[in-house]
Structure 1
Amino acid sequence: MARTRSRGGFWVGAVAEICIIVASLVYVVSSELWALIAWEALATGYLAIGFTLAWSGKRPSRVSRGDVRAVARWSWVLPLISSFAGVNSAVLALIARGDGIHNDALLGVAASIGVVLSWTLLHTGFAQMYEATDIASDQDAITFPGNDRPVFLNYLYFSFTIGTSFATSDATLKTLPARRLVLIHGVVSFFYNALVVAVAFQVLQHAVAS
Structure 2
Amino acid sequence: MFGDRTPRARAAGDAAMMLPSVRARRAVAVLLGVVVFLVVGLTVDPALGLLSGIAAQAGVFALGGVLLFWPMTAERTRAHARRDDFKPLLEETIVVLEALVSLAAIITVLLIHDQHDRKPAVVAGLLAIFMSWAMLHLMYAVRYAYLYYRHPVGGIDFNSDDPPSYRDFFYFSYNLGMAYQVSDTNVSSTEIRAVVLRHTLLSYAFGTVILAMTVNIVAGIATN
Q: Same fold (TM over 0.5)?
A: yes
What is the root-mean-square deviation in Å for CA atoms of aligned residues?
Answer: 3.5
CA shift digits 1:153-188 (9 cap, x unpaired): 211111111121222122232221011111222233
Consecutive aligned runs of 4 or more in structure 1 exceeding 4 Å deviation: 1-5, 16-27, 63-66
2:88 paired with 1:72: yes
Matches of 1:19 and 1:81 in 2, distance apart? 18
Match of residue 38 from structure 1: 53
Taking structure 1 as the reference length, the TM-score comes to: 0.77
**Equivalent residues of 2:81, 2:142 under 8 A apart:** no
Question: 2:94 corresponds to which letter in structure 1?
Answer: L
Question: 2:24 corresponds to which letter in structure 1?
Answer: V
Q: CA deviation at 1:72?
A: 2.6
Quickly say closer, same or farther: Cα 1:66–1:203, change in 2 above 3 A. same
**Equivalent residues of 1:86, 1:117 under 8 A apart:** no
**Equivalent residues of 2:159, 2:185 under 8 A apart:** yes
Q: CA deviation at 1:25?
A: 10
Q: CA deviation at 1:146?
A: 2.1
Quickly say closer, same or farther: Cα 1:61–1:127, change in 2 above 3 A. closer
Larger radius of gyration: 2
Which runs of 5 or more residues in structure 2 are unaligned? 5-11
Question: 2:108 corresponds to which letter in structure 1?
Answer: L
Matches of 1:204 and 1:64 in 2, distance apart? 43
**Equivalent residues of 2:110, 2:125 under 8 A apart:** yes
Quickly say closer, same or farther: Cα 1:169–1:158, change in 2 above 3 A. same
Q: CA deviation at 1:61?
A: 7.2
Question: 1:88 corresponds to which letter in structure 2?
Answer: A
Asked which structure has the greater RCO (Cα within 8 Å, sep 6+), the reply is: 1
Matches of 1:11 and 1:147 in 2, distance apart? 33
2:207 paired with 1:190: no
Match of residue 9 from structure 2: none
Taking structure 2 as the reference length, the TM-score comes to: 0.73
Matches of 2:164 and 2:173 in 1, distance apart? 14
Match of residue 97 from structure 2: 81
Q: CA deviation at 1:66?
A: 7.4
Identity within the alignment, %: 19
Match of residue 52 from structure 1: 67
Matches of 1:162 and 1:21 in 2, distance apart? 27
